[in-house]
Amino acid sequence: MSVATAVEVEPFRHFDAEVLAVRPVGASLVRVTFGGPDMRDVTTSGPDQRIKVFLPAEDGLAVPVPTGADWYARYRALPPAGKPVMRTYTIRAARDGEIDVDFVLHGDVGPASRWAGAVAPGDRVVLIAPDGRYPGYRDGERIGADYAPPADADWQLIAGDETALPAISGIVAVLPDDCVAHVFVEVPAEGDRVDWAVPPGVAVTWLVRGEGDLATAVRAANLPPGAGYAWLAGEAGVVRALRRHLVGDRGLDRGRVYFGGYWRRGKSEDAPHEEED
Ligand SMILES: Cc1cc2nc3c(=O)[nH]c(=O)nc-3n(C[C@H](O)[C@H](O)[C@H](O)COP(=O)(O)OP(=O)(O)OC[C@H]3O[C@@H](n4cnc5c(N)ncnc54)[C@H](O)[C@@H]3O)c2cc1C
């Protein structure tokens, strides 16, 4: 007699992903579409869904990516010479067996930016991303996706730089018709602006670096009365200061402010985290 046992599916898993398409989006980002046979079950659990991207070694040698439940401990224990580069990105869009990821091209200084500047269809990476077979996702569970306005929020403040633009594009698309929100996005160039169709109560302010910046614009913003919710992401120091401003000067409940340090000026994602990070 055979007994069928339910196999427990973990919320995230490693995927072998192939680059299917590459196209510029705006002046500073490139959209990479990942797919291939192993990507069949990939999914997303929210508009700011984070994933891990393991880049191939720059010398062309395949570097094995640790797998299994303790992959992270084993990854950290690898000697620098044999360690694949791991970076954090956002799922910009998910379709059947495919995802889009928008990479900021911030120059030749980082392995991910360098990789994205030269990527071509057929290239391969390993991703750690949500596995759609995990039952919780069907019940609306969010894992690695932080945008979560409380049901009683009267208004929202969404603010970020170009690294948060993929997430903000996703957030803007799920704002309900009766939503009151102010969206601030700081981008490197005029050509990065996106014309979103937004509900009537949503104001969008684009800040082109050199002419305007997030810190000044948010501090000057006229925030509506009532209970707010803020989602902030971008350079860690900027975002930390904005959160302090919202909680300290504007009286927002700290539990209603999400802030994500998406990158740290002068520090690689590999650099150890200080307490302030
Ligand atoms: C949850 C989350 C989601 C993210 N989503 C995205 C996304 O969808 N798209 C995206 O492009 N990025 C995203 N990021 C940011 C991305 O992970 C970092 O920018 C990362 O440092 C890039 O890796 P790198 O190898 O290019 O540079 P690193 O090796 O990490 O850094 C090298 C140097 O480049 C600088 N640097 C890093 N990023 C930038 C930047 N954007 N502009 C200017 N200088 C920079 C660092 O300060 C450092 O001096 C996300 C980060 C997090 C935590």
pTM: 0.96
Q: Are residues 17 and 134 in the same domain?
A: yes
pLDDT score, position 78:
85
Ligand 1 atom at shortest distance from the alpha carbon of 111:
25
Q: Are residues 184 and 88 in the same domain?
A: no
Q: 63: how many CB neighbours lie within 10 A of its CB?
A: 16
Residue 80 lies in a domain: yes
CA of 152 to the centre of ligand 1 (A): 33
Last residue of a domain, one of 103, 138, 173: 138
Q: Are residues 238 and 132 in the same domain?
A: no
CA of 254 to the centre of ligand 1 (A): 25
Q: Are residues 102 and 20 in the same domain?
A: yes
DSSP SS3 for 15? strand
Q: Are residues 19 and 115 in the same domain?
A: yes
pLDDT score, position 173:
97
Q: Are residues 200 and 107 in the same domain?
A: no
- Name 137's Cβ contacts closer than 8 Å, sequence gap at least 6: 11, 43, 45, 130, 143
Pairing of strands 50-55, 124-130: antiparallel
Residue 146 lies in a domain: no
The neighbouring-strand residues paired with 208 are 187
Ligand 1 atom at shortest distance from the alpha carbon of 101:
8
Residue 1 lies in a domain: no
Last residue of a domain, one of 138, 172, 190: 138
In terms of residues, how long is the chain?
A: 277
CA of 263 to the centre of ligand 1 (A): 5
Q: Are residues 122 and 175 in the same domain?
A: no
Q: Are residues 68 and 100 in the same domain?
A: yes
Q: Are residues 170 and 223 in the same domain?
A: yes
Q: b or e along 7-33 (b: 16 or more beta carbons within 10 Å of the residue's beta carbon)?
A: eeeebbbbbebbbbebeebbebbbbbb
Contact 262, 238 (CB under 8 A): no
CA distances from 220 to 162, 214, 242 (A): 21, 10, 12
pLDDT score, position 97:
97
pLDDT score, position 263:
98
Q: Are residues 75 and 44 in the same domain?
A: yes
Residue 268 lies in a domain: no
Last residue of a domain, one of 138, 170, 199: 138
CA distances from 125 to 105, 128, 207, 211 (A): 18, 10, 33, 37
Residue nearest to atom 31 of ligand 1 (CA): 268
> How many structural domains compose the chain?
2
Q: Is 119 buried (19+), middle (13-18) or exposed (0-12) by CB count in 10 A?
A: middle
Ligand 1 atom at shortest distance from the alpha carbon of 146:
1
Q: Look up the CATH number of the domain holding residue 257.
A: 3.40.50.80
Q: Look up the CATH number of the domain holding residue 108.
A: 2.40.30.10
CA of 250 to the centre of ligand 1 (A): 29
Domain containing 204 equals 155-263
Residue 222 lies in a domain: yes
Contact 168, 183 (CB under 8 A): yes
Residue nearest to atom 17 of ligand 1 (CA): 88
Q: Are residues 27 and 134 in the same domain?
A: yes
DSSP 198-245: --TTEEEEEEETTT--HHHHHHH--PPSS-EEEEEEEEHHHHHHHHHI
CA of 274 to the centre of ligand 1 (A): 17
Residue nearest to atom 4 of ligand 1 (CA): 89
Ligand 1 shell residues, CB under 6 Å: 50, 87-90, 102-104, 106, 109-113, 163, 166, 260, 262-269
Q: Are residues 117 and 170 in the same domain?
A: no
Sequential pLDDT tens for the chain (277 residues): 445 456 789 999 999 999 999 999 999 999 999 999 999 999 999 999 999 999 987 666 666 888 888 999 998 888 877 788 999 999 999 999 999 999 999 999 999 999 999 999 999 999 999 999 999 999 999 999 999 999 999 999 999 999 999 999 999 999 999 999 999 999 999 999 999 999 999 999 999 999 999 999 999 999 999 999 999 999 999 999 999 999 999 999 999 999 999 999 999 998 887 776 6
